[in-house]
Structure 1
Amino acid sequence: MDQSKIGTFIMERRKKRGLTQAQLAERLNITDRAVSKWETGKSLPDSSIMLALCEILDITADQLLSGGREAKAAESAPSLPKETAGRVPRRGERRWRLALLLTGGLFTGTLVCFICDTALTGGLSWSRIVAVSTGYAWAALLPWVILKRGGAAGSLLSLSVFTVPYLYSLGRLLRVRAVFTVGTAMAVLSLVFLWLIYAAFRRMGRTSQAMGTACLLLAGLTASINGALYLLEAAPPPDAWNGMSVLLFLLAAAVCFTWKRGGE
C-alpha cells in the first residue's frame, strides 16, 4: 500500500470535485491538517471515515486503497464489444428495472384489492383507501429508487408535495375531519425537521456531529409534536413518558457529540 500514491489520488479527486482541503475536512468533521497529511503521504484516512471519504470523492474503497490504479487500468483497458457489454445491465438500467418492479407490484396489489372489494361489497369502498395510500407510497419511494444521487431529497420533495393532498383525500374517504386537520399539522412539523436533518447530513457527511445534530432535531420534533397534539386537543398534556423520549434523544445527541473521530 503506497501512501504517497494514495495521497496524490485523494488530492486529484478532491480537486476534481471542486473542494478545498478545509471544505473536505469540514464535511468529514476532521481538521484540514489531517487532510494535508493524507495528501502528502504522511498518514492514511482512518477506517471509520473511509466510507464517507469515498462517497464525497465519488470513488470506491478499492480505488482509494490502490491509489487509483484500478480506475486508471479501467480507463486504459480496451472497451468490450457491444454484444458483450450489452449483456451486463448498467446501474441506471437496474434502477429503472427496480422502479418498474415497484410500480408493477403496487399496481397489482391495488388491482387485487379492487377485485376483492367488488366481490365482497358489490362496489368500491375500502379499496379506495388502499389505492390512495398506494399512490402516496409510490410517489414517495420512486425518487429514492430511480435517482443515484439526490434520491433522499427527491423523496422528501415528493412527501412535501403530496402529503397534504393525501391526508385530505384520506380524511374525505374516512369521513373524519381530524385526519386532515391534525394530520396536516403533524406532517408539516415532521417535514420541517426531516429537511433540517437532511441538510445536516449534506453539510457534515456521515459523521458523529451529523448524528448528534439529527438526534437534537428528533428531540425537538418529539417535543413539538407532543405540544401540537395538546394544543389541537387531540391528546392529553405531555407527561413523563413523553419527556422520556425527548430525554433519550438528548442523551444520544450528547454521546454523538462527545464521540472521538479517528484521523484528526
Structure 2
Amino acid sequence: MDQSRIGTFITERRREKGLTQAQLAERLNITDRAVSKWETGKSLPDTSTMLELCGILGITADELLSGGRAAGEPKRSPASPGPAERRFSLRTGRGRWGAPLLGGSLLTGVLVCLICDTALSGGLTWSRIPALSAAYAWVLLSPPLALKRGGAAGSLLALSLFTVPYLYGLSRLLSIREVFTVGTVMTALSLLFLWPVYAVFRRAGRTSAALGITCLLLAGLTASIHGALFLLRAAPPAGWNGWSVLLLLLTAAVCFTWRRGGEKQ
C-alpha cells in the first residue's frame, strides 16, 4: 500500500470537488492537520472516516486504498460498494449493536445477582452493589459504542455527571462515608486532568507534543492525588511518589525534544 500515492489521489479528488483541506476536514469532523497528513503520505484515514471520505470524494474504498482508478475501469458510483467497502460497512454495523449487546450483558449479570441474592438471603442485600455498578458502567461505556463520533466526549461527560452520584450510592450501600468523600476529591482531580488531555489530542492529534503535554498534566495529577490523600488522611506519603512525578517530567521532556528534532529535519 503506497501511502504517498494514496495521498496524491486524495489531493486530486479533493481539488476536483472544489474543496479546501479545511472544508474537507469540517465535513469529516476532523482537523485539517489530519487531512494534510493524508495528502502528504504521513498517515491513512482510519476505518471510521474512510467510507464518509469516499462518499465526499465520489470514489470507492478500493480506489482509495489502491491510490487511483484502474486503467480503463469505468467510474463507479459510491453507492455500489466494493469488497473493501462491504468490509468497513460490516464493522460499522457491528458498532451499532455494541451498546445494546453491552446493555443486555450487564442486565443479564444483574438479574443473576438479584436472583442469587434473593434465593440465598431472602431479600436484596449485596446484589444492589453490582446492580448500581452495572448501571454506572453502561452509562460510561455506551457512548463510544453507540456514537460514530463524539464517543470519547460522551463518556467524559457521563463520567463528569454520574460519578459523584454513583459514589454517594455506593457509600450508602457499603455504609462507608470515605467512599464518597475521598472518591469525590479523586474524581474532581481526575476530571481536571482528563478534559484537558481530551482537548489536547482533539486539537493536536496523536503527536509527540500532545503526549508531552499529557505527561506534564499526569505529573501534576499524580502529585495532586498524593497530596490530597495525605491531607484527607487516607494514605501516608510514600517515598516513591516523587520518583513517579520525576519520571513523568522526564518523559515529557523527551517528547518535546523529539518533536523539536523532527521539525529541524
Calculate the TM-score normalised by the size of structure 1.
0.76
Answer yes or no: is the 8 Å Cα contact 1:45–1:263 preserved in 2.
no
What does residue 31 of structure 1 align with? Answer: none
2:25 counterpart of 1:17: yes
What does residue 240 of structure 2 align with? Answer: 241
Answer yes or no: is the 8 Å Cα contact 1:6–1:66 preserved in 2.
no
Superposed CA deviations along residues 119-166 of structure 1, whole A, max 9, x for unmatched, are 221111111011111110010000011111111111011111100000
Count of paired positions: 237
Q: 2:238, 2:185 → 1: CA distance? A: 21
What does residue 55 of structure 2 align with? Answer: none
What does residue 126 of structure 2 align with? Answer: 126
Q: 1:97, 1:73 → 2: CA distance? A: 36
User: Secondary structure of 1:240's partner?
Assistant: coil
Matched letter for residue 234 of structure 1: A
1:104 and 1:65, CA in 2 relative to 1: closer, same or farther beyond 3 A?
A: closer
Superposed CA deviations along residues 63-118 of structure 1, whole A, max 9, x for unmatched, are 66644649x988526647xxxxx9x9655542231211101100000111111111
Residues 59-138 of structure 1 mapped to structure 2, 5 A cutoff: 59=50, 66-67=66-67, 69=69, 76=77, 79=80, 93-138=93-138
Q: 1:73, 1:232 → 2: CA distance? A: 71
Q: Any gaps of 5 or more consecutive residues in structure 2?
A: 52-60
Q: 2:252, 2:7 → 1: CA distance? A: 34
Q: Percent identity?
A: 55
Q: 1:89, 1:64 → 2: CA distance? A: 15
User: Secondary structure of 2:235's partner?
Assistant: coil
What does residue 140 of structure 1 align with? Answer: 140
Matched letter for residue 16 of structure 1: L
Matched letter for residue 9 of structure 1: I
Matched letter for residue 126 of structure 1: W
Matched letter for residue 156 of structure 2: L
Matched letter for residue 248 of structure 1: L
Q: 1:138, 1:192 → 2: CA distance? A: 23
Residues 225-240 of structure 1 mapped to structure 2, 5 A cutoff: 225-236=225-236, 238-240=237-239
1:100 and 1:262, CA in 2 relative to 1: closer, same or farther beyond 3 A?
A: farther
Q: 1:211, 1:229 → 2: CA distance? A: 26
Calculate the TM-score normalised by the size of structure 2.
0.75
1:247 and 1:68, CA in 2 relative to 1: closer, same or farther beyond 3 A?
A: farther
User: Secondary structure of 1:235's partner?
Assistant: coil
2:36 counterpart of 1:45: no
What does residue 56 of structure 2 align with? Answer: none
1:165 and 1:222, CA in 2 relative to 1: closer, same or farther beyond 3 A?
A: same
2:215 counterpart of 1:224: no
Shift of 1:16: 2.0
Between 61-70 and 172-181, report the one with greater CA deviation.
61-70
Between 89-98 and 118-127, report the one with greater CA deviation.
89-98
Q: 2:74, 2:139 → 1: CA distance? A: 41
Q: Any gaps of 5 or more consecutive residues in structure 1?
A: 29-34, 81-85
Q: 1:98, 1:74 → 2: CA distance? A: 35
1:129 and 1:6, CA in 2 relative to 1: closer, same or farther beyond 3 A?
A: closer
Q: 1:125, 1:77 → 2: CA distance? A: 57
Q: 1:4, 1:89 → 2: CA distance? A: 24
For the aligned residue pairs, the C-alpha RMSD in angstroms reads: 3.7
What does residue 151 of structure 1 align with? Answer: 151
What does residue 175 of structure 1 align with? Answer: 175
Matched letter for residue 207 of structure 1: T
What does residue 8 of structure 2 align with? Answer: 7
